[in-house]
Amino acid sequence: MKSEAAVKSSVQKIPGLVLISHYFEVPLDYDKPSGRKISIFAREVRSTENADKDEMPFLVYLQGGPGFQSPRPESNSGWLKRALKEYRVLLLDQRGTGLSTPVTHQTMNEVADADAQFEYLKHFRADNIVRDCELIRKSLNKGKKWSVIGQSYGGFCITTYLSFHSEGLEAAIITGGFAPLVDDPDAVYRACYERLIEKNEEFYRRFPGDAEIVSRIVEHLQSNEVHLPCGELLSARRFLELGITFGFKCSGHSMNTIHYLLETAFVPNTAKETLSFVFLRGIENLMDFNTNPIYSLLHEAIYCQGAASKWSADRILKEFPQFDFNSRKKDPIFFTGEMIYSWMFDEYSCLKQFRQVADKIAAYSGWPALYDREALKSCTVPCVGTIYHGDLYVDRVMAEETAKTISGCQYWLTNEFEHDGLREDGEKVLDRLLALLKGECS
């Protein structure tokens, strides 16, 4: 199969960086190469000092998610600054995100019905993201091997890459994203709920006064019909989804962020208790479910190999009465976390149209393999990574099992960072991993 990169559609320069846009036409379904095509966008980044060095090797960045576009660089800083000393960085918009034939509630209106949407969305997991990478590598990098770095779900994609297409890789770097080698998400969610209990306890130790505020908000939402500025109903269960931020440490998404938001919850000095516009708008700004539907639609499916998810987060939640806010009136009410619930497709306006297709995805058991343990055990690609000790999103025990399965993989287990370590101090994190890759540290 041949696919040519488009002529460099644009070359942009911002202080310290040169940005080169590339577009590729790829099959929606690689088993039907002559069928429907989609577009994949990748932004090549070079430092100003190395702008003309076409011979520099590529480092391909795979974003976390699923369903989120690659970062849009604004300066030569963070992990990018460290990477650009040795590489040209390729920021890939994974299929369905950013400028890569995006999947949104608007674009999916062009796909006929729930059955057709289901057939379409089946092709947006890690297996096909990796196939896209390989097609692009053969075109853009003239078939030469390249290195990859994956944050969170990007690391899941790399684990798939190592399983099925390791011949294309020079080296692999995984940050907070050693994929659990499971066939369905149940064990993942059990571990995540257990970790989430710990995170809630940590939150209330840090901000003990917030227990009363959270209880007041939940009672208010149960007694009143409250709408967000966008017009959507704010239910108590939707409010409690703010715990999704509890595993981050920086960039306005953390426990501290929620505490400061709670400070603004109620309009002061009013006769009738009222939730403030600032608070309601803040909730909207912290949630990406409307703008990134792949995240909701495929979040459980990214763990499935020959098995159906069957709304795993909903089912496993029943094993943890700690999250039943209706029965915990006198105790701190616990926030939920990175879980996708069936009811979300009834409450988020841009997800409502996906109600039927979401149920089809949850019931589907024909998902192909994402990982090959035997291939990982015999892999010869140098692989390094970070595992964050208290990671809310990628269980440490499962991550270590995967890292130990990958032949020769070296990993840095640390409690210095949360899941967003690459964002918090990316230059330090990547420098340590590159040194590990080169055998300069242990």
Give the residue numbers marked as catalytic: 152, 391, 419
SS3 61: strand
Which token pair is 31? 């088993």
Q: Are 28 and 40 within 8 A, CB to CB?
A: no
* Cβ 108 vs Cβ 131: under 8 Å: no
Q: Are 59 and 146 in contact (CB under 8 A)?
A: yes
CA 408/CA 416 separation, integer angstroms: 24
Q: What span, in angstroms and rounded, lies between the C-alpha atoms of 96 and 298?
A: 12
Asked if 170 and 58 count as a contact pair (C-beta separation under 8 A), the reply is no
* Number of neighbouring beta carbons within 10 Å of residue 46: 21
Q: What is the DSSP letter of 352?
A: G
Could you give the residue ranges of the DSSP H alpha helices within 224-289? 236-239, 255-263, 277-285
Element at 107 (helix H, strand E): none
Residue 207: DSSP 8-state = -
Question: Residue 252 corresponds to which amino acid?
Answer: G
Q: What 3-state DSSP class applies to 103?
A: coil
Give the residue from 188, 162, 151 showing the smallest Cα distance to 396.
Answer: 188
Sign of the alpha-carbon dihedral angle for 315, 316, 318, 319: positive
Sign of CA dihedral 72, 73, 79, 83: positive
β-sheet with 37-47: strand ranges across = 11-14, 17-27, 37-47, 88-93, 58-62, 146-151, 169-175, 383-388, 410-414
Q: Count CB atoms within 10 A of the CB of residue 271.
A: 5
